Amino acid sequence: MSVKERFLRYVQIDTQSNPKTGTHPSTQKQFDLAKLLVEELHALGVTNAFYNEHAYVYAYLPATIKNAPSIGFIAHLDTEPVCSGTNVKPRCLIYQGGDITLDNGATITPTEFPFLENYVGQELIVSGGDTLLGADDKAGVAEIMSAVEYLLSHPEIPHGKVGIAFTPDEEIGEGASLFDVKGFGCDFAYTVDGGEIGELGYETFNASEAVITLQGKNIHPGSAKNKMVNCAVIVGEFMAMLPANETPATTENREGFYHVCHIQSGVETGEIELIIRDHDKQKFEMRKAFIQDICKELADKYGQNAVVCQIRDQYYNCYEKIKDHFHLIENARKAYEQAGVVPIETPVRGGTDGSTLSFMGLPCPNLFTGEHNAHSVRELVPVPSMEKAVEVIIELIKLYAKQ
């Protein structure tokens, strides 16, 4: 089965995660893809493949040579919660330039997405426009599975132990929370969860989320002087105190930001949810302290119970752990070169399972999948990019067999 065929099969399985359930996995439908992958691995001859009660899929190819490092490859099963992943209708087309019109009439234009010009003449896969496509990260899943099939059909290729894992709930920041690093049994690993062809990620944000709970006092507005505490007013003051030029829409590269994700408020109650991001650990800590200071100032003004802030760290910059194992990057560069791919090494403005796994003792950079426009109904992936990702995985396995 080709990587394209696998991908088209996987994206039609709804695996959307849900941050509100509090369960692991957050949605039972992620088991649908986990079960299918284990069945496929068994059919390929990987008899040790299994999924556990939390929908983590684990498998490995035994080493064919001695003393080679054990290398793992990891992708995630789930799709992100905001855009629907139900009834995905993938469509393949040869891109001839110009606008791409999706089945629902929406368009993907080179004016808005100049990268399209790089793919003229290539086969692209898009959604119907009513759902996301699911290339994040079912492209990665398909690429790992295709690399496994290639190795099994070419037993003459020497390799150390090759670990395979597919995780649930990456999109809600829980993908690595229950990962069995010891049981996985690999010295190092790569997540296959990056973007355009050539992307090689080994720096991520430090990340936290803040939930600010507001408690007001309602009273008839005609007699409210010195009595009313209006949560909606507190929300406005909080927003005005955030730096206007430090948002996702105004920053790039290694610039950090504050991103307000959700606000709800009446007079008596309210809540603000935001995320805090920075590549630099010291700046990251300063950003968290800044939010706490704002909340303290507002609590001093409106009452200590009026503004309560809780901040939870989500993940940290994986470079702090990868830098001591930089052969992971050097070998990735070689594998890209051997596959005819030019590395694009830019800081990841987000995180991956590898961010958490690196701090759990499994150093884990991120390889490209080829996809573009993640978390959007305009998501797409070029088939040749997926094929190159498979080549890179195979070349990496070959390289580590020589070390």
CB 47 within 8 A of CB 38: no
Q: What distance in Å separates the CA atoms of residue 72 and residue 182, rounded to the nearest whole number?
A: 12
Q: Is 293 a catalytic residue?
A: no
Spot the catalytic one: 14, 80, 137, 170.
170
Q: How far apart are the first and last CA of the chain?
A: 31
Q: What is the 3-state secondary structure (H, E, C) of 127-194?
A: CCCCCCCCHHHHHHHHHHHHHHHHHHHCCCCCCCCEEEEEECCHHHCCCCCCCCHHHHCCCEEEEEEE
Spot the catalytic one: 14, 40, 78, 203.
78
CB 68 within 8 A of CB 403: yes
Tokens at 279, concatenated: 């590549």
Q: What distance in Å separates the CA atoms of residue 330 and residue 200, rounded to the nearest whole number?
A: 11
Q: What distance in Å separates the CA atoms of residue 178 and residue 266, rounded to the nearest whole number?
A: 38
- Please list, in sequence order, all residues whose beta carbon lies within 8 angstroms of the beta carbon of residue 134, skipping any fewer than 6 positions away: 10, 11, 15, 79, 85, 88, 127, 379
**What does the DSSP 8-state code read for residue 378?**
T
Q: What distance in Å separates the CA atoms of residue 8 and residue 182, rounded to the nearest whole number?
A: 33
- Taken in order 43, 48, 53, 57, is the CA torsion positive or negative? negative
Angle, alpha carbons 8-14-17 (nearest 5°): 130
Angle, alpha carbons 192-115-104 (nearest 5°): 90
Q: Is 78 a catalytic residue?
A: yes
Q: Which residues are catalytic?
A: 78, 170
